[in-house]
């Protein structure tokens, strides 16, 4: 009986490369739209007016089994030197960001007003442009090239939809790869952040 023909290693490598390239748009879309419904993707959210002609938009969402007023305190204390980002602290600290995500609501971090700063790192901060408890928190880059909106929407049976949107200004052609790299990193970290907020809010609401 003849043995089945095995593709040459070079052929296998080429097929793997083609498959990877073909899947990239699917993976990219999944990362930028993780958890969001079509209505949420199309919705106009707080902060959309900051970057009017974005080159990249990410809208992600999660359902939290807690009312909005129990989710809001976790959002308001976001930031380096504050409650952290509820994501992969070890990854953030691997690049020296000094992040430690809180596991409880701290009253000292609950006062946030437009004009305040929320630090991503010691030398990088976003300006608070909207504080509308318990509905919307918007953070903006100083040059208005980036906005980060956290919005809370009532769901069924006392649940809340946390919808987070990032809008990046359209870059110069040479900066497009950087924007894409930021979007990729954001996909990984933001998904974990949404799950981290959900875990904390639900755990404390259950108490």
Q: What is the CATH number of the domain that holds 154?
A: 3.30.530.20
Q: Is 71 inside any structural domain?
A: yes
- Rounded CA-CA distance 161/193 in Å is 14
Q: What confidence score (pLDDT) does residue 96 get?
A: 81
CB-CB neighbours of 48 under 10 Å: 16
27 Cβ contact list (under 8 Å, min separation 6): none
Q: What confidence score (pLDDT) does residue 61 get?
A: 98
pTM listed for this prediction: 0.84
Going edge to edge, which strands form the sheet with 124-132?
54-64, 160-169, 146-154, 136-140, 124-132, 117-121
**Burial class of residue 104 (count of CB atoms within 10 Å of its CB; 0-12, 13-18, 19+):** exposed
Q: Is 15 inside any structural domain?
A: no
Q: Is 13 inside any structural domain?
A: no
Share of the chain above pLDDT 90, in %: 64
Q: What confidence score (pLDDT) does residue 152 get?
A: 98
Instruction: Tally the domains of the chain.
Output: 1
Domain that includes residue 45, residue range:
36-206
Q: Is 68 inside any structural domain?
A: yes
Q: Is 198 inside any structural domain?
A: yes
Q: Is 22 inside any structural domain?
A: no
Q: Is 27 inside any structural domain?
A: no
Q: Is 8 inside any structural domain?
A: no
Q: What confidence score (pLDDT) does residue 25 get?
A: 53
Positions in the chain whose pLDDT score sits under 50 = 11-24
């Amino acid at each position: 009986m003849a043995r089945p023909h095995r593709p040459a290693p070079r052929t296998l490598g080429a097929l793997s490369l083609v498959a990877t390239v073909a899947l990239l748009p699917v993976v990219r879309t999944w990362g930028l739209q993780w958890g969001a419904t079509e209505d949420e993707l199309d919705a106009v959210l707080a902060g959309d007016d900051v970057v009017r002609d974005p080159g990249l938009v990410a809208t992600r969402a999660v359902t939290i089994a807690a009312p909005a007023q129990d989710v809001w305190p976790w959002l308001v204390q976001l930031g380096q030197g504050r409650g952290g980002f509820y994501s992969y602290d070890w990854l953030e600290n691997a690049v020296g960001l000094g992040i430690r995500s809180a596991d409880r609501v701290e009253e000292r971090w609950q006062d946030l007003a437009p004009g305040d700063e929320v630090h991503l790192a010691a030398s990088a901060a976003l300006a608070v442009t909207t504080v509308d408890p318990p509905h919307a928190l918007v953070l903006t880059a100083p040059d208005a090239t980036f906005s980060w909106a956290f919005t809370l929407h009532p769901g069924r049976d006392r649940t809340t939809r946390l919808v987070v949107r990032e809008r990046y200004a359209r870059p110069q052609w040479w900066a497009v790869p950087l924007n894409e790299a930021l979007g990729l990193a954001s996909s990984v970290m933001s998904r974990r952040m949404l799950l981290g907020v959900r875990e904390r809010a639900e755990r404390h609401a259950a108490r």
